[in-house]
Amino acid sequence: MGNACNSAPDDPIDGASFSAGKARGLSLANMAVGVNEATLKMQQRGKIMAEYVWLGGAVTTGGFDIRNKTKTLDFSPKSPEELPIWNYDGSSTGQAPGSNSEVLLRPIAIFSDPFRREPNIIVFCETILPKTHDPIATNTRGHAKAMFDQKPELVPWFGIEQEYTIMAADDATRPIAFDEDGGEPAPQGPYYCGAGYDSAICRPVADTHYKACLYAGITISGINAEVMAGQWEYQVGPCVGIESGDHLWISRYLMIRVCEMLGCNVTFDPKPAKGNWNGAGCHTNFSTKPMREDGGYKVIIEAVEKLGKKHMEHMKLYGEGNDRRMTGGHETSAMDKFSYGVANRGASIRIGTDTEAEQKGYFEDRRPASNMDPYLVTGKVFETTCL
């Protein structure tokens, strides 16, 4: 098996020695800011590195298009409004013609930078037009926020289960647990929540990312190894409204950065291996204040019934290539059929046993693919069930 990233014994986020790079002959990685104690100790003379992060319009690493560039600040911002609006060349990210290429970056959330460490920050930005400051065509956040802003009193909570698959360093299309000559690892069975070199493949990636999210200030609620070899999951939530999408996007960015540092690739593709292998999803758990209060079960069932009436509308927004994953097998429901049930992992919507027993709680929309846009999904779930 080619799971060389298993050989990272230390946690680079904790500033310990970084041997994953060495194991893969990546000597430069040892020099990188964020993995080298000496570099981290260098004084910055009161200046702060602000990594502006935004969503481009192409498909790049991992199946998304997450871009970043850094600005030096001479103050430590307390809120995104204190930060300068910046700009970039939208013609290089598939978002603007070369003749009128400027797109603006408006800061919307600040996180601690787990690689450069405090006081350095990651600044998540939305993309807006230079003149009107309206969202550009690929900015889906604006619409989602408009949905949530209509009924803030419902206090919608989302918990998103992000599944992803570790891919080979030299071939981002090949799962790291699969051989170059097409040889497959042992069949599914030992990997889900597994322990051991042959089961918990690339645990250092999952663990380093977990720590990076906690350091950054992402609301991450846990991780687990998944059913396919080299596939993992982490959960972001519960987050209120628009914050769910913001935190999920930055968690994805951190995953891409961790894999860059540890010398492997990641894919968020919903079906990275053909054959008898599970795909990857983004189960979206949802509740509103009335659902969490006594008697909320009735509100939950009403919401689920509403989702049933708009099934295909939702499926269109739930991720590219979801048809390759939602076959009705491998713990999925069929793409074109809506269903729900208590504790049913083959249904579109699963209601937890606890929620039924307590007659209040939340439900799980199991349909979204691992590569879904959380602004589209959370906005649509709220629109269909609450507006």
Name the residue nearer to ligand ADP (CB basis): 107 or 156: 156
User: Smallest distance, Å, CB 282 to ligand ADP?
Assistant: 11
Measured from the CB atom, is 283 or 325 closer to ligand ADP?
Answer: 283
Piece of 159-167, 203-211, 262-270, 370-378 that binds Mn ion (CB under 5 A): 159-167
Reduced 3-state DSSP string for the chain: CCCHHHHCCCCHHHCCCCCHHHHCCCHHHHHCCCCCHHHHHCCCCCCEEEEEEEECCCCCHHHCCEEEEEEEECCCCCCHHHCCCEEEEHHHCCCCCHHHCEEEEEEEEEEECCCCCCCCEEEEEEEECCCCCCECCCCCHHHHHHHHHHCHHHCCEEEEEEEEEEECCCCCCCECCCCCCCCCCCCCCCCCCCCCCCCCCCHHHHHHHHHHHHHHCCCEEEEEECCCCCEEEEEEEEEECCHHHHHHHHHHHHHHHHHHHHCCEEECCCCCCCCCCCCCEEEEEEECHHHHCCCHHHHHHHHHHHHHHCHHHHHCCCCCCHHHHCECCCCCCECCCCCEEECCCCCCEEECHHHHHHCCCCEEECCCECCCCHHHHHHHHHHHHHC
Query: Cβ 221 to ligand ADP, closest distance in Å?
Result: 4
The contact pattern for ligand ADP, residues 112-151, with x = CB under 6 A and - = no contact, is ----------------------------------------
367 in contact with ligand ADP (CB under 6 A) = no
Instruction: Check binding of 365 to Mn ion (CB under 5 A).
Output: no
Q: Residue from 34, 159, 272, 290 that binds ligand ADP (CB under 6 A)?
A: 159
Dist. CA 61–CA 56, nearest whole Å? 11
**Contact status: 126 vs Mn ion (CB under 5 A):** no
If one asks whether residue 64 binds ligand ADP (CB under 6 A), the answer comes out as: no
If one asks whether residue 278 binds ligand ADP (CB under 6 A), the answer comes out as no
Report, in Å, the least distance between residue 152 CB and ligand ADP.
16
Count of residues engaged in binding ligand ADP, rule: CB under 6 A: 16
Residue nearest to ligand ADP (CB): 159
Q: Given the complex with ligand ADP, which of 65 and 383 has the nearer CB atom? A: 383
Among 140, 235, 278, 371, binds ligand ADP (CB under 6 A): 235
Q: Please, what is the minimum distance in Å from the beta carbon of residue 278 to ligand ADP?
A: 13
Instruction: Decide: is 245 part of the binding site for ligand ADP (CB under 6 A).
Output: no
Is 161 one of the binding residues for Mn ion (CB under 5 A)? yes
**Does 157 sit near ligand ADP (CB under 6 A)?**
yes
The two three-digit tokens of residue 291, written as one number: 């659902």
String of contacts with Mn ion for each residue 227-266, x by CB under 5 A = ------x---------------------------------
CA 228 distance to own-chain centroid: 18
51 binds Mn ion per the rule CB under 5 A: no
CA dist., res. 36 & res. 1, Å (int): 29
Chain residues binding Mn ion by CB under 5 A are 161, 233, 283
Chain residues binding ligand ADP by CB under 6 A are 157-159, 161, 221, 235, 237-238, 283, 285-287, 292, 361-362, 364
